[in-house]
Amino acid sequence: MVTVPSGRSAPGRVGRRIRRWLRRGWRPVAYLWRRSLMVRSVAITVLTTGLAIAIIGTAVMISISNNVYSQRRDQIEAESARATVVAQGIFDAATAGGDNNQTELETLQNEAQQAILSNTTSPGGTSLAIERSPDQTAPQSLQTVASPDFPDQAISDALRKEVGKDTGKVSLQPVRLEVDGRSQPGLAVGSTLQIPSAGQYELYLVYDLSDAQQTLDFVSQTLSIGGVALMVLIALVTSLVVRLVIVPIRGAAETSRKIAAGRLDERIPVKGNDDIATLARSFNGMADAVSRQITQLAELSRVQQRFVSDVSHELRTPLTTIRLAGDMLYDSRHAFEPSVGRSAELLHTQVERFELLLADLLEISRFDAQAVQLDPEPVIPAALATDIVDEFRPLAERAGIDLQLATPGGHTTMQLDAKRVRRILRNLVGNAIEHGDAKPVQVVVDSDARSVAIAVRDHGVGMPPEDAVRVFDRFWRADPSRKRTIGGTGLGLAISLGDANLHGGRIDVWSRPGEGSTFVLTLPRNERVAVTTSAIPLPELDESYDGPRAVREED
């Protein structure tokens, strides 16, 4: 038994190749259609014009064909009637002279044939046949006379029946003729002749209408060439008109891109006083206004940054003095009265918080001035996360929170700024403990070939999506009425975002009210490679939650 290996049929493979070829050829066309207004405008104009030309041309050709055919039909009908009258007159004249023998009848028949042909002037040519009508009882009969090229098959039974029924009337029927191996239109005409001593005969004339068909073909060809030429002309005119509009629009788009790139002095050249020039002037006016506002905002931002930096530096000296005095009071608090000792403790606590705030303000001012630099060193992310968890475990226990750590990845050495990564993790873990509502907090470290990710997940109050996207704003709080339990300046997450982006990484956020929040820090193994995915994906959102993921990256 021979086993035939199964496989795809050849026609199926050919069909798939054809489909792939069509898809491959369609992609550039679809790309041009989507990207080019000129292509769409010219294509739509040419297609609609071509459709209109085709409809009008078809209507014109039908009208011309009907008119030409009607004229030729009337002409042929008149010629045939005249030829029939002439032939009948020849036979009638012979009848008036007396009885005719067979020879005389044949002579009359030849004369009638010549007279008929001389009375037909069809440009395409005419052939005739004279046949005896069926069921004749006359004593004499004539043989059928026909032109050498007479097409017997062109005379249908319907035409013969109509001719035999309506004597004295010319009957017409359109036919198809074979001329030089090609099928051409023709017209068959039938009538009756009364021949003395021979009875009734039928006269058939077949007219060749190939000359009329040639005329129609020429008209059709002329209309087609004219239509194509008109479509090409319309395409050229349309492309020229559209170009007059597209070029200024492209110029405006290019100018917009340059302005968006920071070249605020770019403007659109204004030419003339038409609508395009009005648009250019309006755009330039808008660009001037936007440029002034951007300049003012930039100056205001510089003033603000300088103010924050200057104030932070200027406050450090008096704060140092206050700190020294506060430390002395704090160390001697047990020698004071209880109320004074309590005041010394409060002063010490608030001075420490003030120092942290000044330090954060100075760090923010460095980020704003782009004066921060990384100090990379070999770091194992999993070990770093373990240190942070151990550092915060006592605080978590006091808050009744089970602080959990999982490190399936992140055990290879990376070049990171350990100080900044520690600061990020302290902020994330501290926030999770503060908002954890005595529920477990998980810290997970994982990695892939491109990046390492550290996720901090709490199961506390959570946030709605509109709040989650603002968690990195400076001094912003989702719930202003909520009291801080572990301190903080309101700048921690803003600084954390700056530290993450300084490494070429990012921080993703997911949160849901009543179910907690997840912060995922993703750092690339190579800072020159942008982070597009994370080794730890954010929690999947089920169908009951229609809010967006809150993902914040520094611009």
Average pLDDT score over residue span 232-257: 86
The distance of Cα 386 from the centroid of its chain, to the nearest Å, equals 50
For residues 425 and 405, what is the distance between their CA atoms, to the nearest angstrom?
Answer: 13
503: pLDDT strictly greater than 80: yes
274: pLDDT strictly greater than 70: yes
**For 98-107, 200-209, 430-439, which range has the lowest pLDDT when averaged over its residues?**
98-107
Q: Check residue 421 and give its pLDDT.
A: 92
Q: Which pair of structure tokens corresponds to residue 511?
A: 């949160």
**Which domains does the chain show, CATH number per domain?**
26-266 (3.30.450.20), 276-368 (1.10.287.130), 377-552 (3.30.565.10)
User: Sorting pLDDT into bands at 50, 70 and 90, what band is 124?
Assistant: low
Strand partners, 206: 127, 188
Closest CA to 199 of 128, 126, 136, 145: 136
Q: Check residue 544 and give its pLDDT.
A: 37
**CB burial readout 287-311, b (16+ within 10 A) else e:** beeebeeeeeeeeeeeeebeeebee
SS3 167: coil
Q: In sequence order, which residues have a C-beta less than 8 Å from that of residue 194 and are 6 or more positions away?
A: 88, 91, 92, 200, 201
Taking the CB of residue 195, how many other CB atoms lie within 10 A of it? 27
249: pLDDT strictly greater than 50: yes
The model's pTM: 0.49
**Strand order across the 451-458 sheet:** 403-406, 441-447, 451-458, 516-524, 506-512, 550-552
545: pLDDT strictly greater than 50: no
Q: Check residue 479 and give its pLDDT.
A: 60
Q: In sequence order, which residues have a C-beta less than 8 Å from that of residue 78 and are 6 or more positions away?
A: none
Kindly report, residue by residue over 106-115, the tens digit of the pLDDT.
787 788 888 8
Q: Check residue 536 and give its pLDDT.
A: 87
SS3 171: strand
Kindly report, residue by residue over 362-392, the tens digit of the pLDDT.
777 777 667 778 888 999 999 999 999 999 9
Kindly report, residue by residue over 307-356, the tens digit of the pLDDT.
766 776 677 777 778 878 878 887 888 888 888 888 888 888 877 777 77
Q: Check residue 384 and give its pLDDT.
A: 93
Between 28 and 287, where is the model more confident? Answer: 287
14: pLDDT strictly greater than 90: no
Q: Which helix (H) or strand (E) holds 16?
A: helix 10-35
20: pLDDT strictly greater than 50: yes
For residues 42 and 232, what is the distance between their CA atoms, to the nearest angstrom?
Answer: 10
CA distances from 305 to 140, 287, 311, 488 (A): 131, 26, 10, 21
Q: Check residue 487 and give its pLDDT.
A: 52
Average pLDDT score over residue span 439-463: 90
Find the distance separating the first CA and the last CA of the chain, reported in whole Å.
Answer: 72
For residues 460 and 510, what is the distance between their CA atoms, to the nearest angstrom?
Answer: 13
Average pLDDT in the chain:
81
482: pLDDT strictly greater than 60: no
Q: Check residue 541 and give its pLDDT.
A: 34
For residues 507 and 502, what is the distance between their CA atoms, to the nearest angstrom?
Answer: 12
Q: Check residue 386 and give its pLDDT.
A: 94
3-state secondary structure labels for all residues of 426-452 = HHHHHHHHHCCCCCCEEEEEEECCCEE
Q: What are phi and psi of 14, to 5 degrees?
A: -60, -40
Kindly report, residue by residue over 127-147, the tens digit of the pLDDT.
888 888 887 777 777 777 888
For residues 135 and 130, what is the distance between their CA atoms, to the nearest angstrom?
Answer: 16
425: pLDDT strictly greater than 90: yes
**CB burial readout 409-430, b (16+ within 10 A) else e:** bbeeebebbbebbbbbbebbbb
Tell the burial category of 28 from Cβ atoms under 10 Å away from its Cβ (0-12, 13-18, 19+). Answer: exposed
Q: Check residue 553 and give its pLDDT.
A: 39
Between 207 and 550, where is the model more confident? Answer: 207
Average pLDDT score over residue span 391-401: 90
Q: Check residue 97 and give its pLDDT.
A: 52
For residues 85 and 112, what is the distance between their CA atoms, to the nearest angstrom?
Answer: 10
Q: Check residue 27 and give its pLDDT.
A: 77
549: pLDDT strictly greater than 60: no
| Residue reference for tokens 């520690």 | 422
159: pLDDT strictly greater than 80: yes
